Amino acid sequence: MEEFSLKDARLFQDFNRWFTGGERETPLFDSEAFNELYEQSYLAVFRYIYGLRGGPVEDIEDLTAETFTRAWKARRTFVGDLHNAATGWLLRIARRLVIDGYRYDRSRIQAGDEPPDDIPQLGPAPENLVLMGEQYETLWKLLQCLTGRQREMLVLRYFLDWRVNQIGEYLQISENTVSVTIHRTLAQLNREWPDEREY
């Protein structure tokens, strides 16, 4: 007996929309609810994109704005509450934009590029600890050498302060895989971190 898949669920949802005449009320249907979502999640989306992509702040702001533009256009397809939208739906849209940017290789950051000085801050989080001068540059270069999946897990864990179970659910992998990957990635960064005497 075959298992019921997410694809099957989407087919049923599409059929239901067609059968019932389509439009249904969602939590993001009106502009007031969408504005609330924007206010609550702008910085998180900005930091997520910055952590995945890097680059000039202007480019990150453009991608963040494009994320919300696409979300507004697709708001009627969203199913869930505002919390789920901020933590999953918007980040999936943002991730697709970042991937599209890599595909077209538009202004992809190089390992030697300098990070911007004016990154918006989002509450207390480990990355908000002061990393000055050369140490910050070194960290930035090391992060750019990680795989996309490793960098995304670190961004979700330390830029957005997500718990391991949230990351696993979002990426559709086990909590153990998330924990092990983060642990190994941090160990890798530790090994590659220059000796303090070099500063």
pTM of the complete model:
0.64
- Better pLDDT: 104 or 38: 38
DSSP 125: -
Q: Could you list the residue range(s) of the whole structural domain that residue 188 is in?
A: 130-192
CATH number of the domain enclosing 31: 1.10.1740.10
Give domain status of residue 70, yes or no.
yes
Each residue's pLDDT tens digit, 176-199: 999 999 999 999 999 988 876 554
Domain count, the chain: 2
Is 52 within 8 Å of 148 (Cβ atoms)? Answer: yes
User: What mean pLDDT do residues 124-133 have?
Assistant: 44
Give domain status of residue 99, yes or no.
yes
Q: CA 1, CA 19: separation in Å to the nearest integer?
A: 27
CATH number of the domain enclosing 153: 1.10.10.10
User: What mean pLDDT do residues 77-87 have?
Assistant: 72
Last residue of a domain, one of 109, 139, 168: 109
The closest of 171, 180, 177 to 87, measured between CA atoms, is 171
Q: Are residues 153 and 100 in the same domain?
A: no
